[in-house]
Amino acid sequence: MSERQYEDRLYEELRHEVLFCGPAFEELLATAVETCLSSSESFQTHLKTIETRQVDDPEERQLLAQLGLWGVRAAVEVSDTATFHYWSEEESFCRPDHPVIFPERYSAPRDQAIVNKIEAFGVALMEEAFACLGEDAAEQAAALAASTNFDESKAALDWLAKRIKAIQNVASGRPAETESDTDDDEEEEAEAQNNEHFYHPVRLSPKLLGKYPDSQLDPTCLGVSLLSSAFFEKAGLRHLHAGVTVSDAQHARIDYMESFDTMLRQAEKYDVEFPDIIRRELLRMKYQNQVIVTENRGFHAVNLVRLPHGGHWAQHDVNYNRLIIFSNDDDTLDQYYERIEKFHAIQAGTEHVLALQVDDGVNFDTLLEEGLLQGLLPEREELDEALATGQVPAECSAIAECYVLPLLWREDSEALASLTDDAYDEGVYFSERLSRDALMEMAVEAVNRYVFWDTDVSGALQKCQTDPAYRQRRVEDLRAVPFYLANILAGEYADDIITGHVNQPHRGMEIGHPAYRLGAAVLSDFSVYLQPLPQSFWATYWPSRVVATEHYQADRDLDTRKFGLRLGATMMLHNLNYVHADGIIMKFLERSTTSLMEEDNHGNGRPEEVVTAAGAGRR
């Protein structure tokens, strides 16, 4: 069997499998409507409206239908970014199984009736969810819509966040207002809040959630985003629903690990030797961050909304206590919104990846490199002579001021641009804990602990004048301190982002039309628990990378697993993937690849092909 014949056969299998899912979808939808909505009348009303919606350009719909949701998404990503997300590491050209080139390999033709029902369900969900916010929600939504300045908008958004927190508290048996509601929640606290109760799709049901102040269920983060979407929809504002692929906390940890690697390379370049205890401590810190970044904590959903004035968009994330106002100098979100709206009217379900580049102005490995290039790291001979002749001051503070701080604090350095009050006033993210005084305090502690090892400084300096071997070890330890401290500072800054002391947006998000995305996401959750539908169905109707991890276990048959294998392998090459999902996908790929190879060894006519996470479909 030729490669082309094999692909044609696989496509036919995929198409028939998705067609066969129709009755199962209807059963799933009926269960979700019954569970989530007080009455099916709202759903039916919205469905009739959507079914009668006219398409301005039938030819455009036909073209988008041919591409499928994955093909459209891939085409948009290719046109919006400087590099192909689907390029393999070894190749500088587009992969042969890129969704733009062979979109039929990633989804089957869609049934427009199913598309309409997913959207109608999302609209009905938002309509019912708005009532959960209480009697005064309409007044607050109107206030947001009529706001003419930032303070008025923020007041309405703060009310919404406070009301959702109150719903969570009441449903959990706590007072509606608690002290923690006004504090910056750490990543772990937000995670604990979301998982205080076991995860189940009933926590997405507006009907079962109830109307505040008689809230009965604590909503998940997807449920929280549904409440926010309902509020923004009622206010008549432009808004998008988003799945977070790379959170601000995950990005901070990844940045920290990259800074760690850079610092080690710098140390090797300048012939700096770390004491074993410091090296072990650094490796431990990096490992802890690697574990947290890659462990599966589930998916997270947020909202993006355009404020009624000034052209500002905002990221609204109640679970993580984050309200981020974006600059109106960049019209990226306006362009994405208009494109999604246009595509939605033609072919509902289109999603895009939003990657945010934030110049926070704090980069300690860059700062260290600047100092190294300026010759601020003392040479061995210089330190050895100073210690041997008693020229080194007998106080840790003076030693830190002389030998350590110049590498980590320079008033003219752009790497510290956001550590000034002026920068904060201009809207740059600011960490008040990382002032010069704070750096000096950490430098003194590091000198005392890792150069003199908590011994008497005067006695140690006297010993340096008589013991060359002891003096040599102090020289190496003192040269290593700036590198160690740079790593500590990078960790401190990452911690400030994670805990909310520094407010930053999530760096990677899948964004889509609120009604369709919410309808698909809620139905997907119900499917996982109640009526499993294969990956091929979900990938056809919802182009989110959530489907590769939520539904891969439903693909028990080897033929249907071939599709999931291709989808999962493609995801592993994407640099904006859900970071914590990589481990799940990798296990699936390894298990599926082994099964398929065993099947091929029994002679099913499959062309010779090895599919790995590092290069899916490479021949």
- Amino acid identity at 84: F
Show the tokens assigned to 64. Answer: 């988008």
Of 314-323, 529-538, 545-554, which gets the smallest average pLDDT?
A: 545-554
pLDDT at 337: 95
Rounded distance between C-alpha atoms, residue 73 and residue 197, angstroms: 35
Show the tokens assigned to 460. Answer: 């140690």
Show the tokens assigned to 68. Answer: 């499928």
Judge residue 501's burial from the number of C-beta atoms within 10 Å of its C-beta, 0-12 exposed, 13-18 middle, 19 or more buried. middle
Note the pLDDT tens digit of each residue in 29-44: 999 999 999 999 999 9
Q: Do 315 and 322 touch, CB atoms closer than 8 A?
A: yes
Note the pLDDT tens digit of each residue in 452-499: 988 999 999 999 999 999 999 999 999 999 988 888 888 888 888 888
Q: How confident is the model at residue 432 (pLDDT cuts 50, 70, 90)?
A: low
pLDDT at 257: 86
pLDDT at 396: 94
Average pLDDT, the chain: 79
Q: How confident is the model at residue 611 (pLDDT cuts 50, 70, 90)?
A: very low
Highest mean pLDDT among 287-291, 296-300, 395-399, 539-543: 395-399
Q: How confident is the model at residue 75 (pLDDT cuts 50, 70, 90)?
A: confident
Note the pLDDT tens digit of each residue in 185-234: 445 554 444 444 467 899 999 999 999 999 999 999 999 999 999 999 99
pLDDT at 94: 53
pLDDT at 608: 34
What is the secondary structure of 62-131 as a DSSP string? HHHHHHHHHHHHHHHHHHHSSS-TT--TT-SS--TT-TTT-GGGT--PPPHHHHHHHHHHHHHHHHHHHH
pTM tops 0.85: no
Show the tokens assigned to 32. Answer: 């979700």
pLDDT at 585: 44
pLDDT at 577 over 70: no
**What is the percent of the chain where pLDDT is above 70?**
75
Q: How confident is the model at residue 184 (pLDDT cuts 50, 70, 90)?
A: very low
Closest CA to 492 of 430, 443, 556, 433: 433
pLDDT at 346: 86
248-259 mean pLDDT: 85
Q: How confident is the model at residue 413 (pLDDT cuts 50, 70, 90)?
A: low
pLDDT at 580: 47
Closest CA to 492 of 432, 403, 415, 413: 432
Rounded distance between C-alpha atoms, residue 474 and residue 452, angstroms: 7
DSSP bridge partners of 362 = 416
pLDDT at 91 over 70: no
Q: How confident is the model at residue 562 (pLDDT cuts 50, 70, 90)?
A: low
pLDDT at 374 over 70: yes
pLDDT at 59: 78
> 418 in helix, strand or coil?
helix
Closest CA to 505 of 351, 377, 327: 327
109-128 mean pLDDT: 96
Residue 150: CA count within 13 A, CB half-sphere: 11
Of 64-73, 290-299, 494-503, 561-570, which gets the smallest average pLDDT?
A: 561-570
